[in-house]
Amino acid sequence: MGDEAKAKVLVFSFPIQGHLNPLLQFSKRLISKTVTVTFLTTSSTHNNIIRRAISGGATALPLSFVPLDDGFEEGHPSTDSSPEYFAKFQENVSRSLSQLISSMEPKPNAVVYDSCTPWVLNVCREHPGVAAASFFTQCSIVNAIYVHSLRGAFKEFQDDVVLPEMPPLKGNDLPVFLYDNNLCRPLFELLCSQFENVDHIDFFLVNSFDELEVEVLEWMKKQWPVKNIGPMIPSMYLDKRLAGDKDYGLSLFSAQNECLDWLDSKPHGSVIYVSFGSIAVLKDAQMIEVAAGLKQTGHNFLWVVRETETKKLPSNYIEELGEKGLIVKWSPQLQVLAHKSIGCFMTHCGWNSTLEALSLGVALIGMPAYSDQPTNAKFIEDVWKVGVRVKADKDGFVTKEEIVRCVGEVMEEMSEKGKEIRKNALRLMEYAKEALSEGGNSDKNIDEFVAKIAK
Ligand code: UDX
């Protein structure tokens, strides 16, 4: 078939950074396999951010962007967590997507959609011949835990949850929403809804790679045609020959690239990189404690404190840091993680950050906050053994002494645990690279997906 397009695909992401990134990357992978991709964003995200980013030349993505009417005006936040938001979002996007498909000739072969919008399946079914591919931005381990929970395997907070093909889990290893009823109910319902129609979807794609979760994956595959297609991170971090593909292509935040110059001035392996992703919010007292803990480690550190969080920093903190520490509002995270000066990554364990670190062989300090993050942290420490997890008190508070202890374990040259962690991190990095190199598990799964939809 040569370079002629094999298939035409629409890709729709929930408009938050942690979902846009892997779906943008998957789109690029599909394009590299001669699939034509149209990336669908909500009209409010398109108007607020993407239009400006594209016209500013911020992206060199070989994609076209089409906004879907989500019923919200320019200036409305990309998402909010109210039931009203979700209802209006679903109603408007379903209608707008269906109209788009009707207007296309030939019809797209498939819609790849964020698993948090399971109702896209109904839109696909209105258009015979358009396959429905649900894309899960969390790993199969987390998916399996949700499935067990929905089947009633455990009802409420309990210590020692025993599930097939997993190590015993404590209550605080489970995705947060499964045991904390005080958390946002609509978000919990949104996450559970990912599984409501999985018996009917055509493709069950997961942003992970097989070596991370072999046993659980086998268990999931007995029920659904689950396929790992990850790690969905820009290709140059997996294959140096693809130097052009160094970021996801679009960011809802402006990165302060000058932090790379600061990193250039630091010795090899000497910097702690700290970031809690695009959503996590630390309580005021916790922020102050993290600030004190990082300073007390005596190591260099680069800390991403989002604009909305900066007011929680202790007064004069930035001035007092001098050359030891740098605080930025957003970083070019992949370039930072790939920088030789980075010694470890203190993270909230969002799945993208976790995969990025695993793919780049960076040791982790997990300080999970929300959603799937505690489960990721559990596996980072106890199963993959590529990092340590901070111990929090019963209210979830982490002391500065604990931060210093964890940094010591991972950063100390001579610590046995640190050595083992670094060795494991490098081993998993090789597996991550293999998965997406030609003929690797994930690469084969993507080829199979393309072949099936192109039929
Ligand atoms: C969310 C959830 O929290 C996460 O657990 C889920 O699995 C996916 O969606 P988020 O909290 O933002 O995402 O964390 P994460 O998954 O790590 O995604 C953040 C993304 O932003 C990463 O790709 C990271 O590289 C990028 N980032 C973060 C930057 O580019 N610069 C920064 O300064 C911080």
Q: What is the pLDDT of residue 58?
A: 59
Q: In terms of domains, do 448 and 307 share one?
A: no
Q: In terms of domains, do 210 and 355 share one?
A: no
Q: In terms of domains, do 234 and 320 share one?
A: no
At 373, give phi and psi (nearest 5°).
-65, -40
SS3 289: helix
Q: In terms of domains, do 371 and 226 share one?
A: no
Give the DSSP H or E segment for 375: helix 373-378
Q: How confident is the prediction for the chain on average, in pLDDT?
A: 93
Q: In terms of domains, do 366 and 441 share one?
A: no
If one residue of 138, 353, 356, 371 were mutated to test the ligand 1 pocket, choosing by the most ligand atoms within 8 A of its CB, it would be 353
Q: Which domain holds residue 77?
A: 5-247+437-452
Q: In terms of domains, do 183 and 331 share one?
A: no
Q: How many domains does the chain have?
A: 2
Within 13 Å of residue 173, how many CA atoms lie on the same side as its CB?
Answer: 20
Q: In terms of domains, do 163 and 234 share one?
A: yes
Distance (Å) from CA 106 to ligand 1 centroid: 35
Quick: pLDDT tens for 39-66. Answer: 999 988 888 877 777 776 655 677 888 9
Q: In terms of domains, do 174 and 135 share one?
A: yes
Residues with C-beta less than 6 Å from any ligand 1 atom:
17-19, 21, 137-138, 275, 277-280, 304, 330-331, 333-334, 350-353, 356, 370-373
Q: Specify the CATH number for the domain of residue 202.
A: 3.40.50.2000
| Nearest-CA residue for atom 25 of ligand 1 | 333
Q: In terms of domains, do 238 and 281 share one?
A: no
Q: What is the pLDDT of residue 238?
A: 93
What number is the average pLDDT over the span 4-27? 93
Q: What is the pLDDT of residue 56?
A: 67
Quick: pLDDT tens for 103-121. Answer: 999 999 999 999 999 999 9
Pick the atom of ligand 1 nearest to 352's CA: 16
Is 1's pLDDT higher than 60? no
What number is the average pLDDT over the span 147-159? 81
SS3 304: strand
Q: What is the ipTM of this complex?
A: 0.98
Amino acid at 55: S
Is 2's pLDDT higher than 60? no
Q: In terms of domains, do 318 and 214 share one?
A: no
Amino acid at 409: E
Q: In terms of domains, do 92 and 27 share one?
A: yes
**For the chain, how far is it from start to end, CA to CA, in angstroms?**
13
Q: What is the pLDDT of residue 387?
A: 98
- How far, in Å, CA of 171 to CA of 163, rounded? 12
Quick: pLDDT tens for 274-330. Answer: 999 999 999 999 999 999 999 999 999 999 999 999 999 999 999 999 999 999 999
Query: Of 348, 311, 303, nearest to 328 (Cα)?
Result: 303
Distance (Å) from CA 129 to ligand 1 centroid: 34
Q: In terms of domains, do 10 and 136 share one?
A: yes
Tokens for 150, please give them.
């929905």
pTM above 0.90, yes or no: yes
Percentage of residues in the chain with pLDDT exceeding 90? 77
